[in-house]
Amino acid sequence: MLVLTMQSNRSPITPPPPLEKVALEVALGAGAGILVTGLVVGKVLARCAQEVGSLSEEVFRGDRLPVLNFPKSQAPNGETDSQ
């Protein structure tokens, strides 16, 4: 029976010095703040876009447009339709 053994050349992980740990926490905190701010701004922009869409629908509703008088259509044999 053949037994293979592996030797690890890795050194144990050492915790970062206090100054690097503080800098890392500050960077993570700033990144989280930026992410949350971006999400809130995106939500506000989506609501604004939806509101603009609703307002544009109001502009183009039929009751605010003028009534167009169309001429009477003519049948192919030259007679006018009596509608």
Q: Where do the structural domains in the chain lie, given as residue ranges?
A: 18-60
* Residues 6+ positions from 80 with CB-CB distance below 8 Å: 72, 73, 74
| pLDDT tens by residue, 44-77 | 999 999 999 988 887 777 666 677 888 887 767 7
Mean pLDDT of all residues in the chain? 79
Give the span between the Cα atoms of 51 and 71, in whole angstroms: 38
Q: What percent of the chain has pLDDT over 70?
A: 71
Quick check: pTM over 0.75? no
Q: What is the pLDDT of residue 43?
A: 98
